[in-house]
């Protein structure tokens, strides 16, 4: 039985999951042979390899173009019509897979293309800092902020910053400028 | 004479730094070798920070718009939870009351 004729959506869905893990989410390590023996045991290796390559290529094309659902349907329909393409059952499985995984794959692609550190987390606390000399008390609250930063595929780096109230308000003003900029960008027709 | 009380640092970093400068830009990633249609805006931040000895270092990082403020984009997923802007607003609100 050829790979193209094997169906039930589960093996293909499993295959697409494994391909997504390897290609987008940075989790390689599932060998071709393991995939074949687990998902398509009745397909000989020399047939499985081109089948796998075809599915990988289709998934990459869809992700690279960030296809919306109209583009997806048109693309998959074209794939069913070409020589050595896919079956309409396979097209349906791929379509369903992309619809449920699109957001996560896109987020992985965004992370992969970021070569600076990304913001992984932010935690903070506010301390009351008091000094006293004789009986005069000076009360200076301090915000302690910890930023968790990290490059794709690397461990996090932690940056700890201290701010007094004046500085916090200065930053807040800066951030409102950032927000204004974003709002302007988003409201522009493109 | 009492000594000043230092905040207890239970942060993962050993050193607290003072912020010397905060620069930002709004960028748009258009395309890359792995994805022809990236199309996402991002906020790039460059911090200049000084440690206790006065040595100044530069730290750069990027945030997606949802990380900065999820409400700005209709399509934001809830996967990224940092919400940078809102957290600073909360800090400002708290520090005012302390």
Q: CA of A150: which chain B residue's CA is closest?
A: B61
Assess if residue B61 is contained within a domain: yes
Neighbours of B29 (CB within 10 A): 17
Nearest CB neighbour to B35, from listed A109, A117, A145: A109
Q: Which range among A30-44, A115-129, B11-25, B64-78 shows the weakest confidence by mean pLDDT?
A: B64-78
Instruction: In whole angstroms, give the CA distance from residue B91 to residue B22.
Output: 17
pLDDT at A96 over 50: yes
Terminal alpha carbon distance of chain A = 49
Predicted confidence band of residue B6 (pLDDT cuts 50, 70, 90):
very low
> Phi and psi for A178 in degrees, rounded to 5?
-60, -45
Query: Which residues form the domain of B26?
Result: 18-68
Judge whether residue B5 has pLDDT over 50.
Answer: no
Hey, are the CB atoms on A165 and B94 less than 8 Å from each other? Answer: no
B3 lies in some domain: no
Integer Cα distance of A94 and A184 in angstroms: 37
- Domain limits, CATH 3.10.450, in chain A: 117-131+139-187
Contact A161/B at CB under 8 A: yes
Q: Compare all CA atoms of chain B with the CA of A102 and give the residue at the minimum distance.
A: B77
Give first-to-last CA distance, chain B, whole Å.
Answer: 24
CA–CA dist B54, A158 (Å, integer): 19
> Looking at the 3D structure of chain B, how many domains does it have?
1
Confirm whether B29 is domain-assigned. Answer: yes
Higher pLDDT, B88 or B15: B88
Examine the pLDDT at B78 and tell me if it is beyond 80. no
- Residue A181, chain B, CB below 8 Å: the answer is yes
Would B30 be classed as within a structural domain?
yes
* Cα→Cα distances B45→A19, A46, A138, B22, B59, Å: 34, 50, 33, 7, 8
**Which DSSP state fits A5?**
G
Which of B7, B17, B56, B80 best probes binding to A when mutated, by most A CB atoms within 10 angstroms? B7
Check CB contact under 8 Å for B16 and A126: no
Structure tokens at A83: 């020589």
Contact across the interface for B60 and A117, Cβ inside 8 Å: yes
Nearest to A66 among B37, B89, B94 (CB): B37
The predicted structure's pLDDT at residue A133: 65
Using an 8 Å CB-CB cutoff, list chain B residues near A66: 35, 37-39
Per-residue pLDDT reduced to its tens digit, B47-77: 999 998 999 999 999 999 989 988 777 655 5
Closest CA in chain B for residue A190: B39
Report the residue count for chain B.
98
The predicted-structure confidence for A1-23, as pLDDT tens digits, reads as follows 445 454 558 899 999 999 999 88
Shortest alpha-carbon distance between residue A120 and chain B (Å): 7
Position B97 in a domain? no
Of B7, B19, B84, the CB nearest to A122: B84
Residue B11 pLDDT greater than 60, yes or no = no
Task: Answer whether CATH 3.30.70 is correct for domain A117-131+139-187.
Answer: no
3-class DSSP assignment, residue B91:
helix
Least confident of A113-117, A186-190, B79-83: B79-83
In a domain, B78, yes or no: no
Q: Is the pLDDT of residue B19 over 70?
A: yes
Q: What is the nearest CA distance from B92 to chain A, expressed in angstroms?
A: 6
Cross-chain Cβ contact A143/B37 below 8 Å: no
pTM value surpassing 0.80: no
ipTM score for this prediction: 0.81
């Amino acid at each position: 039985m050829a790979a193209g004729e094997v169906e039930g959506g589960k093996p293909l869905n499993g295959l697409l999951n494994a391909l997504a893990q390897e290609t987008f989410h940075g989790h390689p390590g599932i060998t071709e042979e393991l995939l074949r023996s687990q998902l398509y045991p009745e397909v000989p290796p020399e047939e499985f390899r081109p089948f796998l390559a075809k599915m990988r290529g289709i998934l990459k094309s869809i992700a690279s173009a960030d296809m919306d659902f109209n583009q997806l349907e048109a693309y998959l329909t074209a794939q069913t019509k070409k020589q050595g393409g896919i079956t309409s059952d396979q097209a349906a499985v791929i379509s369903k897979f992309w619809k449920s995984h699109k957001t996560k794959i896109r987020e992985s692609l965004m992370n992969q293309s970021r070569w600076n550190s990304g913001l992984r987390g932010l935690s903070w606390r506010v301390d009351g800092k008091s000094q006293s000399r004789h009986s005069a008390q000076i009360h200076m609250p301090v915000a302690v902020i910890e930023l968790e930063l990290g490059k794709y595929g690397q461990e996090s780096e932690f940056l700890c910053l201290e701010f007094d109230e004046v500085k916090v308000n200065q930053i807040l003003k800066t951030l409102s400028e950032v927000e204004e900029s974003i709002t302007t960008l988003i409201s522009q027709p493109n | 004479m009492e000594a000043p009380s230092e905040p207890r640092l239970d942060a993962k970093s050993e050193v607290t730094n003072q912020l010397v400068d905060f620069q930002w830009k709004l960028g748009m990633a258009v395309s890359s070798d792995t994805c022809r249609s990236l199309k996402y805006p991002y906020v790039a931040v460059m911090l200049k920070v000084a440690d206790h000895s006065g040595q100044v270092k530069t730290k750069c990082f990027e945030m997606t718009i949802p990380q900065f403020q999820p409400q700005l984009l209709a399509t934001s997923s809830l996967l990224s939870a940092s919400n940078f802007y809102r957290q600073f607003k909360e800090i400002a609100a708290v520090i005012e009351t302390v």
